[in-house]
Structure 1
Amino acid sequence: MSHKDTNAMDEQNHKKRALVPRLRFPEFREVGEWEIKPLDSVCTVNPSSSVLPETFVYIDLESVEAGELKIRKIIKREEAPSRAQRLLKIGDVIYQIVRPYQKNNFFFSFDENDYVASTGYAQLRAFESERFLYQLIHTNDFVGRVLEKCTGSNYPAISSSDLAKIDVAVPKLKEQQRIAACLSSLDELITAETQKLKVLKAHKKGLMQQLFPREGETVPRLRFPEFQEAGEWELNNLGDLSTVVRGGSPRPISSFLTIEANGLNWLKIGDVDKEEKYVIRTEERVRPEALSKTREVNLGDLILSNSMSFGRPYLMKIKSCIHDGWIAITELHESVSKEYLYYLIFSPSSQSYFLNNAAGSGVLNLNAEIIRALFIAYPSLPEQQRIAACLSSLDDLITAQRQKIDTLKRHKKGLMQQLFPVMDEMST
């Protein structure tokens, strides 16, 4: 190959690897391409070990949730795993190397305590912008490259040495800082809005503790003014006020699934969002012949999951067949409002009853008899409706706040796709 051909090939390869993002801040549009380099040219992967203090906060894979440190486990040095030898410094990023697709990483920015991360994380210490590094490792492009190097099927993981050699695209420091500042401000906004959501949920929880009688009591601690002289509430078993039945599962279910228009809705646990109040859709349908082997519930019926996250109520907005992981409350007596009953089942006393009476040695579950025996207290219909309306308005606020957070997260995700180049794309 001639020298001229070699130069042409080098130039072609360079162009192929020259990267710029689709969206760039004006002051950097003429700066040129980003540089491609291995991760360990951007940060130290697992800095040298250090002498551990007598006690420290140990961060394992259960400690971090959605980028936040939820659990602080303080352990003694002698209790630490043998490979836990690296103290975190402010600005360090810990990267989850087991199941990295979860993107459950953590930016260490506090406090006076000593912290050590488990070997389920790689510790990254940036040479330049720590916050840019934190955003970089959350890009789909980076995570995709990591997953290509993972081994194991049930618990895919990457070694720290392989992680260190993953290629990344990096601009000059000032552009790193500009990108990091933009995305970090969005993170701060998301965190603030998430905190508002937590406050709303805590307010609702506290209100429910006051609006419903406690165990052994017949009136609540908090009552709306117009009902303060209305007297004690009625007491009864749920089974005496409704029909409580378990769903059914035609087997094998694959023989009954259909895409035909005459198919019946088939509700699975995965079809419902645990944060939602209503069932509004199903992913699958079953043939009409399945009806003899399952149970169909109607609009307005109330259903509960009877295992795993048992006792979680939903109100039906559609007609659907339910499998044996559901229990339905139907034919409710006219003296009890469905909306009121929904919140009553969510009340601390009802949930405590379910937890104390659930059966099973491994996975706890409820049966129809346990639910029928639930002792409920209920006032007159107008007071029931007043309670339900109050809590429903709070639910509307919580839903709106959750949607606001989801919108911000989608905005950030879209922005990241524009602000970071994809490694396989050629510059234009």
Structure 2
Amino acid sequence: MAMANNNTPALRFPSFTEEWEEKTLGEVFKTYSGGTPDTTKKKTYYGGTIPFIRSAEINKEETELFLTQEGLENSSAKLVNKGDLLVALYGANSGDSAIAKINGAINQAVLCLQSENSNVFVQNFLLHNRELIIQKYLQGGQGNLSGEIIKSIRVPFPSSKEQQKIAACLSSLDDLITAAVERLEGLQQHKKGLLQQLFPREGSNTPELRFAGFTGEWEEKTLGEVLSYIQPTPYIVESTVYDPAGTPVLTAGKTFVLGYTDEADGIFTNLPTIIFDDFTTESRYINFPFKVKSSAIKMLTLKDDNNDLYFLYSLMSTIDFTVGAHKRYWISEFQNLIVSIPSLPEQQKIASCLSSLDTLIAKQQERIALLKTHKKGLLQQLFPNY
């Protein structure tokens, strides 16, 4: 390992000692962006065989739109090759970069960079410094980048061999992340299929798939007959200036853990419970003490010991419910939904199966998070400070 200076990284592979040479991307790369064929000529310009790569699709293997050869020739759209370096100039993902996974054509919102240098090396440099680039060139993160801006970015380049060594290391890690994500997606698809089979379809009182020893129709009940709700008011966190550790503050949405608090009062401990967002109808199964931020969260608990809470949580995830107006739904509609429920032993069997699968999914998500954290740390060490 070598000590870092302005143009060398903190971590280097053995035998590499030379200082890196700083150049602009414009000095090293041939760059160009594309264009969009006339959208009024969809019958002749669109629907062909040439993938049309737009800014949100630079990292994808498939595109929504395809161009005809006539559309390509009568527009500013430009062809790119698999392996080219692409940068999104416009849109919500402005500043994102990727290695093209397919041959195709790009529009004006995408910049293509081609050179003899390692595209993977440069793409990882851009990935590592994306936020700094956005802050420097897009005040407040709003607006568009341009080809001239990207070409003006100064990048420290090591020798070609060191570029390839770094690129190979990061590509191997990317392969591990991709494989882990694919396994996660497989587990999630498996669960989706199980949910469709383990719970009755609309109009039926028995599921397609049952465990051995269970027969007979399930009993129809409303959710309000089996679940009680608890208002969140006593459990709402007083301060939203969160701590690095303590009691978790939860939401039912994707963020889930908003932060942590050291507040000792008003901690919900009637566990397990289901937290239910009254506005979005999203829910989470919780088996640890917590607080909440929003008055929109209701805590759902069993009315008696004749049902399994994890089964009911899983059942709720299969309900096809459309959220319309911005209003509270549990009391007005959701608790009145009619569902089919089996005996307690069958509920427990289904809950055990789905809980085990959810544990595998959670562990896979943790593995992906660890791999991404490891890559972030490597990027910080393998590239000089921008």
TM-score w.r.t. structure 1 length? 0.74
- State the partner residue of 2:239: 257
Instruction: From the superposition, tell whether residues 61 and 345 of structure 1 become closer, same or farther in structure 2 (CA, over 3 Å).
Output: farther
Give the secondary structure class of the aligned counterpart of 1:368: coil
- The structure 1 residue matched to 2:105, chosen from 97, 104, 116, is 116
- The structure 1 residue matched to 2:135, chosen from 141, 147, 150, is 147
Segments of structure 2 that go 5 or more residues without pairing to the other structure are 39-44
Distance 1:58 1:187 in 2: 25
Residues 1:187 and 2:174 are matched in the alignment: yes
8 Å CA contact 1:266–1:286 kept in 2: the answer is: no
Distance 1:47 1:122 in 2: 4
Deviation at 1:414, TM superposition (A): 1.2
Deviation at 1:83, TM superposition (A): 8.0
Give the secondary structure class of the aligned counterpart of 1:110: coil
Deviation at 1:231, TM superposition (A): 1.6
Post-superposition CA distance 1:145-175 (Å, at most 9, x none):
4531224x36243222122111110011111
Post-superposition CA distance 1:188-210 (Å, at most 9, x none):
11111111111111111101111
Q: Note the 1:188-337 alignment, pairs <5 A.
A: 188-227=175-214, 230-244=215-229, 247=232, 256-257=238-239, 267=249, 269=251, 274=254, 283=260, 298-308=270-280, 310-315=281-286, 317-321=288-292, 323-337=294-308
Distance 1:70 1:297 in 2: 47
- The structure 2 residue matched to 1:346, chosen from 311, 314, 317, is 317
Q: State the percentage of identical aligned residues.
A: 30
Query: Counterpart amino acid of 1:378?
Result: I
8 Å CA contact 1:267–1:284 kept in 2: the answer is: yes
Distance 1:275 1:223 in 2: 34
- State the partner residue of 2:341: 378
Residues 1:125 and 2:125 are matched in the alignment: no
Query: Counterpart amino acid of 2:7?
Result: L
- State the partner residue of 2:42: none
- The structure 2 residue matched to 1:22, chosen from 4, 7, 10, is 10
Give the secondary structure class of the aligned counterpart of 1:403: helix
Deviation at 1:127, TM superposition (A): 3.4
Instruction: From the superposition, tell whether residues 76 and 301 of structure 1 become closer, same or farther in structure 2 (CA, over 3 Å).
Output: same
- State the partner residue of 1:401: 364
Distance 1:407 1:129 in 2: 26
Deviation at 1:393, TM superposition (A): 0.7
Distance 1:157 1:217 in 2: 53
Give the secondary structure class of the aligned counterpart of 1:33: coil
Give the secondary structure class of the aligned counterpart of 2:207: coil
8 Å CA contact 1:62–1:71 kept in 2: the answer is: no
8 Å CA contact 1:95–1:106 kept in 2: the answer is: yes
- State the partner residue of 1:359: 324
Larger Rg: 1
Deviation at 1:346, TM superposition (A): 1.2
In the alignment of these two chains, the number of paired residues is: 372
Give the secondary structure class of the aligned counterpart of 2:209: coil
Distance 2:294 2:33 in 1: 52
8 Å CA contact 2:90–2:145 kept in 1: the answer is: yes
- State the partner residue of 1:3: none
8 Å CA contact 2:94–2:144 kept in 1: the answer is: no
- State the partner residue of 1:8: none
Query: Counterpart amino acid of 2:57?
Result: S
- State the partner residue of 2:85: 93
Distance 1:174 1:275 in 2: 42
Distance 1:101 1:144 in 2: 15
Deviation at 1:108, TM superposition (A): 0.9
Segments of structure 1 that go 5 or more residues without pairing to the other structure are 1-15, 424-428
Query: Counterpart amino acid of 1:392?
Result: S
Distance 2:134 2:234 in 1: 40
Distance 2:216 2:373 in 1: 50
Instruction: From the superposition, tell whether residues 322 and 48 of structure 1 become closer, same or farther in structure 2 (CA, over 3 Å).
Output: closer
8 Å CA contact 1:126–1:133 kept in 2: the answer is: no
Give the secondary structure class of the aligned counterpart of 1:415: helix
Give the secondary structure class of the aligned counterpart of 1:26: coil
8 Å CA contact 2:89–2:146 kept in 1: the answer is: yes
- State the partner residue of 2:41: none
Instruction: From the superposition, tell whether residues 48 and 387 of structure 1 become closer, same or farther in structure 2 (CA, over 3 Å).
Output: closer
- State the partner residue of 1:44: 30
TM-score w.r.t. structure 2 length? 0.81
Deviation at 1:25, TM superposition (A): 1.3
Instruction: From the superposition, tell whether residues 287 and 128 of structure 1 become closer, same or farther in structure 2 (CA, over 3 Å).
Output: closer
Distance 1:79 1:386 in 2: 57
